[in-house]
Amino acid sequence: MTDIIIVGGGPAGVSAALTAKNRGKSVLVISNPAEESFLWKAEAVDNYPGLPHISGQELLSSFRAQLETAGIEVKTARALSAMPMGESFFVTTGSEDFSAGALILAMGVTPQATFPGESDFLGRGVSYCATCDGMLYRGKSVAVIGLNSEARAEADFLRSIGCEVEFFDKARAKKYEIRGGDFANELIADGESFAVDGIFILRSTIAPSNFVAGLETDKGHIVVDADMRTSVAGVFAAGDCIGRPYQIARAAGQGNTAALSACEYLDKK
């Protein structure tokens, strides 16, 4: 078991990882590929101390190199959920599972609000992971709402195991609603109804409230106190995922605070 799992490898997550490691904790960072992060697109950053006019790409590459030098493990994957299990947390990427004594959420902005019905039917016909849940829908009809770069490949995987797949992307529909009874059985896409047995929603990020059950959020941002503690004991958050202003220096500072709080939490256990 790792001491601290950090979800997100941007400024907040990297700063948290370095601080926690300096405090003698074992750390695992789980993050999407750096090229998929918003910061990667920044042409020039002029307000980060000591590194004038650095590009987002250079900054992120330097962050990754620093993690490697510090001996911090980085898993390139999308974390799907975290579940409290007694004194620890169980984090899954779909293909792999990890456990830790504390969690730091540094997932950046998760812009998309969930679709109507999505949270209600999550685990009851709605899934975020074709690899994890595809077999449940073998021989059945499913809808895939593909909003990340792997979505088409995931849809192909579902077809390969015998699912009848209706694929939606941004070009096909903009508004979705999920309906059903005990389980989801209908997708409304831009007003058109599709009868399905399951709905896969594939995004790069997961809404924080669906990532950890019971996590308090406000307009999509994770609610924290001044020490970056969330409403769930042992879970801390930092950076853009806790609100505006969205800035690198702020995210790095909050990552540092979150790590110190997580270390204190573990030391008191």
239 binds ligand FAD per the rule CB under 6 A: yes
Count, in order, helices (H) and strands (E) of the chain.
7, 16
Q: Are 16 and 252 in contact (CB under 8 A)?
A: no
Candidates 7, 28, 67, 130; binder of ligand FAD (CB under 6 A) is 7
37 binds ligand FAD per the rule CB under 6 A: yes
47 binds ligand FAD per the rule CB under 6 A: yes
Binding segment toward ligand FAD, per CB under 6 A, in 32-40, 129-137, 141-149, 212-220: 32-40
Name the helix (H) or strand (E) containing 17. helix 11-22
Minimal CA–CA distance to 100: which of 180, 186, 28, 205?
Answer: 28
Candidates 90, 157, 194, 246; binder of ligand FAD (CB under 6 A) is 246
Minimal CA–CA distance to 31: which of 9, 57, 3?
Answer: 9
Candidates 167, 199, 240, 256; binder of ligand FAD (CB under 6 A) is 240
| Number of amino acids touching ligand FAD (CB under 6 A) | 33
Q: Name which of residues 177 to 196 contact ligand FAD (CB under 6 A).
A: none
CB of 69 to ligand FAD, least distance (A): 19
206 binds ligand FAD per the rule CB under 6 A: yes
31 binds ligand FAD per the rule CB under 6 A: yes
45 binds ligand FAD per the rule CB under 6 A: yes
CA separation for the pair 103, 242 (Å, rounded):
15
201 binds ligand FAD per the rule CB under 6 A: no
- Listed in order, strand segments (DSSP E) in the chain are 2-7, 27-31, 73-76, 81-85, 88-92, 97-105, 126-127, 141-146, 164-168, 176-180, 184-189, 192-195, 198-202, 217-218, 221-222, 235-237
Contacts with ligand FAD by CB under 6 A lie at 7-13, 30-32, 36-39, 41-42, 45, 47, 78-79, 106-108, 204-206, 239-240, 246-249, 251
